[in-house]
Amino acid sequence: MPIFHNLNNSSLIDIALSRKEASQINTGAITVTTGKYTGRCPYAKRFVLEAVSSHDIYWSDNQSISIQEFHEKLMIMFDHLENLKSGYFQQDLIANHDKNHSLNLRVVTTKAWQSLFARNMFIIPSTEDLRDFKYDWELFCAPELGDDPFVWISFEKKQVLIGGTHYAGEIKKSIFTVLNFLLPEDGILPMHCSVNVDLEGKNSAIFFGLSGTGKTTLSSDENRLLVGDDEHCWSDDGLSNFEGGCYAKVINLSPIDEPQIWDACQKSGSILENVVINSDGYPDFNDHKLTENTRASYPLEFIPNVHSTGICDHPKNVIMLTCDAFGVLPPVSKLDITNGDLFEQFILGYTSKLAGTEDGVTEPRATFSYCYGAPFMPRNPLEYANLLVVKAIQHNVDCWLVNTGWVGGPYGKGDRISISITRKIIDAIHSGTLNSSKFIKHDYTGFQIPTQIPGIDTKILSPELMWDDIDDYKCQNDKLFKAFNDQKTKNRLLMHEHFHMKNKAHY
C-alpha cells in the first residue's frame, strides 16, 4: 500500500487524470464533479465533547459527539487507509501566514485531486521548513468512506475526520473552524472575509460577506493587491491570510467584470469543481445544472497583483457586503462603531436567498449568518463581535454596509446594482472621498447615507427614490426590518441559552 508524500502539482494532476478522478480541459485546468454533495453539509460537522472545548463551544448552534464515537470512527478511517491498494496521499502544509499564530498540518486524502486542492488552499512550506516539519494537526479525508457525510473535530487529539462527501470545501473549512476556535483565546479575531491593500501595500480593507454578495469579486481589484479572499485574522500586529489560495464561487463568472478570477480559472493547476464543460472543451460558467455553487480552486499566485507576504497592517476600512433582494437597503451606509451599528450588523450577518437557489424558495428570503460565517465560528458570536468592535475602535477604523443587491424593486421587479456602481462606491471608500462626504439619516432604514458620491446618480443613494410606488417600498422595508427584529430576538434567546448551559456546566 503506497503512501504518496508531498507530491508536487504536476504529479498529482497526472495521477488524478490516470485514475479518472478528473478531466483536463483545453485551458489546462482540471475539472471534477462531487456527486450528490456539491456544498457543505451543515449537519455533518460535530465537535468531540471533551474537557478542552466543552465549555467554550457555542452548543446552541453546534452538535457534539462522544470521545468514544470519535475513537471508533478514527479506527475505521485507519483501517480503510491501510487497506487501500491504490494508496493515499499526504501533504505537509501550513494554515496562516503569520507564523506566530499558524498551524502545521498533515493532510491525508485518498484522492489525488483533493491532495492538489489542499496544496492550492493552504501554504506550502519552503524546502528548508520541510526538513524539520512537525505537524500540529492531522486531517484525514476519505470521501468514499460511508454514505452519510461526517466532519468530526477533536481539539484534544488535534485531528479532523472527513468522509461521505467529495465536496473539497469541507477540507479547508474544517481547518479554519479549528483556527476560529483557538485564536480568540489569544485576543486574536479570526474572520470569514477577504482583504486587499493599495499598490504600496498600505490602506488595507476588510470585506465581510456571505456567498453571492461579491466578497471575492470586489476584493480582486486590478488597482489593489489581494491579500486573500476568504479567511484572515486580526492580531495586535495587523492582518494575516490563513490561506495559500482562493476557492472562488464561479457561477456566471464574467471575463469583463471579474477578469482576474476568469484568467486564474484557465490555468494548469486550477481545479474547476462542478463546472459544466461544453463539447468544445471549455467551461460554461453560466450553466448551473450541476449546482449554483460551482467553484474554482487555484493558488494565490495565479492572481497577478497578489500581496507578496499575506500579512498587512491594520485596516483603514471594514466593509460589510449584503445582497438585499428586497430592494430596501441603500447602496452604501456608514456604520457608527460607538452606537452599536457595527456590532449589530456583524451579529446579524444579513443577506438574501434568491428564488430557485434552494428547493421551496420561490421568492427572496432574508437569511442570517452571525459574524458572516456562523458555520465556521464555533464560539459564542458575542466573543467575535466584541473583538471586532474593540479592534475597530482601537485602530480608528471606518466601517461601511454596502448593498450589492437590488434597487427600484425586489428581485424579479427591480434591477441589481451594477458592479460598476459598486466598484465606484468601493473606490470612494478606499480613497477617503466617501468618508469626507456629507451624511444624513435615511428616513426608512435609519442608516447614515451619503448625499452624493462622484460619478454616481444621487437618486440611487436613497433607494425609495428608485421605486415607482413609495408605498410598495415601505411595505418591503417593513417586511425586511421585521425579519431583522425577529432574528435579533432569536439571537438573544440562543445566546442566553448558551450562557445558561455554560454556567450550568461549571457546577
pLDDT digits (tens, 9 = 90+) for 286-333: 999 999 899 999 999 999 999 999 999 999 999 999 999 999 999 999
Catalytic residue positions, numbered: 40, 173, 192, 211, 215-216, 230, 295
Share of the chain above pLDDT 90, in %: 86
Side-chain-facing half-sphere of 53: CA atoms under 13 Å: 27
- What pLDDT score does 220 carry? 86
Q: In degrees rounded to 5, what are phi and psi of residue 399?
A: -125, 140
- 63 & 83 share domain: yes
- What pLDDT score does 365 carry? 84
- 244 & 181 share domain: yes
Q: What is the pLDDT of residues 342-385, one digit of tens each?
A: 999 999 999 997 644 444 445 678 999 999 999 999 999 999 99
DSSP one-letter string for 379-447: S-HHHHHHHHHHHHHHTT-EEEEEE-SEESSSTTTSEEPPHHHHHHHHHHHHHSTTTTS-EEE-TTT--
Q: What CATH number is given to the structural domain containing 283?
A: 3.40.449.10
- What pLDDT score does 490 carry? 86
**Which residues are CB-neighbours of 504 under 8 A, at least 6 positions away?**
none
- What pLDDT score does 357 carry? 46
- What pLDDT score does 362 carry? 53
Edge-to-edge, what's the strand order for the sheet holding 137-142? Answer: 3-5, 88-95, 103-109, 137-142, 159-163, 150-154, 45-48, 64-65
In terms of Cα–Cα distance, which of 94, 118, 95 is closest to 4? 118
Would you give the end-to-end CA distance of the chain in angstroms? Answer: 50
Locate 298 and state its grid cell: 487555484
For all residues of the chain together, what is the average pLDDT?
A: 93
Torsion over CA: 144, 145, 148, 150 (sign): negative
368 contacts 320 by C-beta, under 8 angstroms:
no
**Which residues are CB-neighbours of 200 under 8 A, at least 6 positions away?**
none
25 contacts 284 by C-beta, under 8 angstroms:
no
- 259 & 356 share domain: no
**CA separation, residue 62 to residues 42, 171, 316 (Å):** 9, 18, 33
- 173 & 228 share domain: yes
- What pLDDT score does 359 carry? 44
Beta bridge partners of 32: 273
Q: What CATH number is given to the structural domain containing 456?
A: 3.90.228.20
- End residue of a domain, out of 311, 340, 367: 311
- What pLDDT score does 496 carry? 62
Map residue 337 onto helix, strand or coil: coil
Gap between the Cα atoms of 452 and 449, Å rounded: 9
Query: How big is the chain by its Cα radius of gyration, in Å?
Result: 23
Residue entry with cell 410606488: 469
Residue 493 lies in domain: 316-505
Q: What is the pLDDT of residues 183-202, one digit of tens each?
A: 999 999 999 999 999 999 99
- pLDDT-based confidence at 505, cuts 50/70/90? very low
Question: Could you give the dihedral angle defined by the CA atoms of residues 297, 23, 37 and 148, in that order, rounded to the nearest 10 degrees?
Answer: -110
- pTM above threshold 0.85: yes
For residues 273-290, average pLDDT: 94
Q: What is the pLDDT of residues 427-451, one digit of tens each?
A: 999 999 999 999 999 999 999 999 9
Q: What is the pLDDT of residues 25-66, one digit of tens each?
A: 999 999 999 999 999 988 999 999 999 888 899 998 899 999
Say whether pLDDT at 407 is over 90. yes
For residues 9-13, average pLDDT: 98
- 282 & 341 share domain: no
379 contacts 189 by C-beta, under 8 angstroms:
no
Domain total of the chain: 2
- 169 & 295 share domain: yes
Share of the chain above pLDDT 70, in %: 95
Gap between the Cα atoms of 261 and 279, Å rounded: 23
- 303 & 400 share domain: no
- 283 & 393 share domain: no
- pLDDT-based confidence at 212, cuts 50/70/90? confident
Longest C-alpha distance within the chain, in Å?
70
